[in-house]
Structure 1
Amino acid sequence: MKRKDFIRQASFLAASSFLLKAQAFSQPSKPLRVALIGVNGMGWSNLNAILKVPGVVCTALCDVDERVLDKRIKELAERKITVKRFIDYNEVLKNDAIDAVIVATPDHWHCLQMVEAVKAGKHVYVEKPLGNSIKECEVMTAAAAKHDKMVQVGQWQRSQQHFKDAIAYVQSGKLGKIRLVKAWAYQGWMKSIPVKPDVSVPAGVHYDKWLGPAKKRPFNPNRFHFEFRWFWDYAGGLMTDWGVHMLDYALMGMNVSNPKSIMAAGGKFAYPDDAAETPDTLTTVFEFDDFNIQWEHANGIDLGPYERNHGVAFIGNNGTLVLNRQGWEVIPEKGRMEAVPLQKSVDSGLDKHMENFVEAIRKNDKKHLHAPVEAGAHIAIFSQMGNIAYRTKKKLFWDSDKRKFDDPEANKFLAATYQNGYKLPEG
């Protein structure tokens, strides 16, 4: 073979190899088949985000409210996507044509569904907060490890570039000694929930399947769909709904885990007579060795610290870094450092989070996950500590070795009480 022909052929083979690799990356030969359990609200957003990833297909939808379920199936059909229809999530998990599930049900269902999903050999994307109690989070972590499946928690800011950049700046030391970290959620859209009478279960709603392990109660629209967040039977209010997002970055920035003590004070100050149970106004202080983390939330008002309705502020001797979903900036102490103007968000955190989940599955590498189950458990437990301090009205001390508080009353809140024949699953 002549030298020029050899070079030409070698170049052709190299280019062909590169093209084949590129095609394999952009269009995987084997599709990732996904089912959505809980098709309203955030579940629907999650599904639409993961369907943007090449090679992902939706094969099934599951919900206990047939009205919403049929609406979503119709919407997918209009996009030429045909799916199987399920009411019982157990039937989804038995289906061999499903590789991964998105669990976007109310908080009190997360533990059962995630644990049973990994036992069934499915990868899981589970909405935040990971669990509805400290014990649930521990069980879920153990199950994910035992069954060796990918579990990504829906703390999508962990995949967003400007959050990563902000934390890198915090850890650079430029702010000087950080003595206080504030995290908050001021939610002006959260209006009073008027008291409503119990009513008959709406047609198409499988209410017993919705209640699951929660206390048996008559159907009340205030406790259903989105509003379940404000009732202790099913969730933990803004402390766990938004706290897991903002406090996650407080802990990450300071590179810490368990607090020495937890105190909380608040109540239903904005809407004392409405239907919600969880506090609409709350301040929680987590004590560490040489700094504190402070959580605040308030319903019905938007003007939070630094004129932001949500965020995290790292308050140092030289200046303060303020971070939220829109971007981050540094406000200097006069004469001590230079200001950093607002560094705006440049990407979709949810889209990138789903890309990361799919890539981790394809690489079969848990270390690739941006929000693995351990991270989700850690911040969910941390937020639950704040709620338990509020509910006991005590300053609490956490024993990391014994995995409990120093107070018997507080330890009663470590595990949710499962009812209606359901039991806390084993890892």
Structure 2
Amino acid sequence: MTRQPSRRRFLVHSAAGAAATFGAVSAPAVISAQSQARVAGANRRVRVGLIGCGGMGNGDLRDMLKAGAQLVALCDVDDRQVSKTAASMSKQFNQTAELTTRDFRKVLDRKDIDAVIVGTPDHWHALPTVMACQAGKDVYVEKPLALTIGEGRVMVDAARTHGRVVQMGTQQRSAKHFTDAVDYVKGGALGKIRLVKTWAYQDWMGNIPVKPDGPAPAEVDYDMWLGPAKLRPYNENRFHFNFRWYYDYSGGLMTDWGAHMIDIANWGMGVKAPKAAVSVGGKFGFPDDAEETPDTQQALWECDGFSMVWEHATSIGQGPYMRDHGVAFHGNNGVLVVDRGGWEVLPETETKSGKKTYRMMGEPRRGAGNEDSHLKHVQDFLDCMDTRKAPRSDVEVGHNSMIACHLANIAFRLKRRVQWDADKEQFVGDEEAQRLLMPQYRAPWVLPKVTKPTSSAAR
């Protein structure tokens, strides 16, 4: 659909010096070259560039075009990925990219691009997002927000300093049944919540056989794919989808699905981050396969007034409550269990004088229906480009939700408990853990320095 006049009205008023804000960032930080162009072009559609033409990038772009955006640029280090995406978008939407490139910086150089989608591997999330903010573009970035906690903080600061809308691709924040479940949790009927369980059991993920290193395909700029990551020989197992199972590029299921489940836990409990983490697990299902991250992992976080637990496993699907993924809020009166299929409340019991009774009435399972939460999430991003309000999965929401995931992986890799100061965003008395807050970028790549917003401009 065509974008409504609200964007035009907002930008005109902002340019005239009205007190429009994003979070608490003043209007002058919001206005950019392409924003000025949108004023001149009246209700011209949002023009987008896709950086990373893999599965999630394609899905994000597809819904962006469904919501009325216009395709301008496609970028991927693998020419085959660009060709597939270009053919798909041409067939489905009759749209053709004006620019195709291997270098995301050429996308950011386009003054007529309003927003970019960052659908790259995780180790490439921070740089394009920060640089896009500096270039005056809004950003829809896939989860997990960043490879490390430190990168996530820089992304938040870049968004605030430059007044940009940055949405993380945790589409459950836009799903009505997740919103209803969280509202129920916050309503207090469950009583005091003292435990939150989160999990992902992925029975469709099997083992990855070991393969030898070899030459990268001719269609791939492998050095650009590595980017800031450590220089290693090309190996098919570390490329495309399977990059998730190597710490150079991602954090395994802990960050891949933890980004979704722990986000809901944070939302329901209204917390920023835990105070401490411990994690155990290993390659118990497939000890000899090619993956680096554990196929079986548990994490335990200490939070104010409650504990939070994570479980994951590949190649098996029977998680807690016989569900392969979900979040369970355990209160004194009952337990709310929610997943992508719906939510329900199970009453707690108590025994008095030898008789067991229920402490509350349960709630039957309520399904998710036919709602397209991903499309709603994309639409929320586009709407916030109009209003300059924070989107549902605002960059800081995403950053906070990822902290627990990163803490668990750091605890797992260090094989011990780690303590966290949520206000200072640093480890407590732990130099070894502190060194893992920010990755060591491979030259010539450097994460741009971002001037932190002043206290009056902070969100």
Q: TM exceeds 0.5?
A: yes
Could you tell me how far 1:332 is from its partner in structure 2?
A: 1.2
Q: Does 1:159 pair with 2:196? A: no
AA at the equivalent of 1:352 = K
- Match for residue 423 of structure 1? 446
Quote how far apart the aligned CAs of 1:32 are: 0.4
Q: Which amino acid aligns with 2:62?
A: N
> Do residues 77 (structure 1) and 111 (structure 2) align?
no
Residue number in structure 2 paired with 1:94: 109
Bigger Rg over Cα: 1
Counterpart pick for 2:59 among 32, 36, 45: 45
Asked whether the equivalents of residues 273 and 403 of structure 2 are also in contact (C-alpha less than 8 Å), the reply is: no
Amino acid at match of 1:62: C
SS at match of 1:168: helix
Q: Note the 1:31-70 alignment, pairs <5 A.
A: 31-54=45-68, 56-70=69-83
Question: Deviation of residue 208 (structure 1)?
Answer: 0.6
After superposition, give the CA deviation of every residue in 1:265-306 in whole Å (9 maximum; x if it has no partner): 111111111111111111111112321000111111011001
| Corresponding position of 2:376 | 352
- For the pair 1:386 / 2:399, whether they are aligned, the reply is no
Match of 1:229 among 231, 235, 244: 244
Q: What letter corresponds to residue 415 of structure 1 in structure 2?
A: M
State the one-letter code of the partner of 1:293: M
Find the residue that maps to 2:44 and give its secondary structure.
coil
Q: Which residue number in structure 2 is paired with residue 4 of structure 1?
A: none
Aligned to 1:361, which of 358, 381, 385?
385
Match of 2:185 in 1: 170
Contact 2:191 2:332 in 1 (8 A): yes
1:25 is displaced (CA, Å) by: 7.0
**Whole-Å separation in 1 of the counterparts to 2:314 and 2:433:** 26
The correspondence for 1:218, drawn from 233, 246, 258, is: 233
Q: Which amino acid aligns with 1:180?
A: L
Preserved CA contact (<8 Å) 2:319 2:325: yes
CA drift at 1:418: 0.4
How far apart are residue 203 of structure 1 and its match?
A: 1.7
Q: What letter is aligned with 1:69? A: V
The 5 Å alignment of 1:14-413 reads: 24=5, 29-54=43-68, 56-79=69-92, 80-83=94-97, 84-334=99-349, 335-346=358-369, 347-363=371-387, 365-367=388-390, 369-405=391-427, 406-413=429-436
Offset of residue 24 of structure 1: 4.8
CA offsets 1:362-390 (integer angstroms, 9 cap, x no match): 12x233x1011111111112210110111
Distance 1:251 1:269 in 2: 29
1:73 Cα deviation from its structure 2 partner: 1.1
Letter in 2 for 1:163: F
Q: Which portions of structure 1, spanning 4 or more consecutive aligned residues, are displaced by more than 3 angstroms?
A: 21-28
- Give me the whole-angstrom Cα distance separating, in 1, the residues matched to 2:208 and 2:136: 41
Shift of residue 401, structure 1, vs aligned partner: 4.3
Measured against aligned partners, the alpha-carbon deviations of 1:25-53 in whole angstroms (never above 9, x if no partner) come to 79982210011111111000001111111
Give % identity: 50
For structure 2, the residue ranges without an aligned partner over 5 or more in a row are 9-41, 350-357, 451-459
Of the structure 1 ranges 235-244 and 285-294, higher mean CA displacement relative to structure 2 is found in 285-294
Following superposition, the deviation at residue 23 of structure 1 comes to 7.2
Deviations 1:144-196 (A, max 9, x none): 11111111111111011110100010111111221111000001111011100
Please say if residues 3 and 45 of structure 2, whose CA atoms lie closer than 8 Å, have aligned partners that are also in contact. Answer: no
The 3 A distance-change label for structure 1 pair 25 and 141 is closer
Partner AA of 1:407 in structure 2:
D
Gaps of 5+ in 1: 1-20
* CA distance in structure 2 between the partners assigned to 1:166 and 1:259 by the alignment: 22
Q: Secondary structure at the match of 1:277?
A: coil
Q: Secondary structure at the match of 2:66?
A: coil
**SS of structure 2 residue aligned to 1:253:** helix
Paired residues of 2:301 and 2:307 also in contact (CA < 8 A): yes
Give the residue type in structure 1 aligned to 2:285.
A
CA distance in 2, matches of 1:289, 1:386: 17
Moved more, 182-191 or 285-294: 285-294
Which residue identity does 1:177 align to in structure 2?
K
Contact 2:274 2:422 in 1 (8 A): no
How many residue pairs get matched? 404
User: Is the deviation greater in 254-263 or in 91-100?
Assistant: 254-263
Q: Report deviation, 1:223.
A: 0.3
Q: Which amino acid aligns with 1:371?
A: S
Deviations 1:97-132 (A, max 9, x none): 211000000000111000011111111000111110
Q: Answer yes or no: is the 8 Å Cα contact 1:123–1:151 preserved in 2.
A: yes
Q: How far apart in 2 are the matches of 1:205 and 1:229?
A: 19
**Quick one: distance in 1 between partners of 2:374 and 2:6?**
21
Note the alpha carbon deviations across 1:296-333, whole angstroms, 9 max, x for none.
11111011001110000011121110001111001112
Deviations 1:326-369 (A, max 9, x none): 11001112421112111111311110000100000012x233x1
C-alpha separation between the residues in 1 aligned to 2:43 and 2:158?
30
Report the CA distance between 1:82 and its aligned residue: 1.3
Q: Distance in 1 between matches of 2:396 and 2:307?
A: 23
TM, length-normalised to structure 2:
0.85
| 2: CA distance, partners of 1:102 / 1:401 | 30
8 A contact 1:366–1:372 mirrored in 2: no
- 3-state SS, counterpart of residue 213 of structure 1: coil
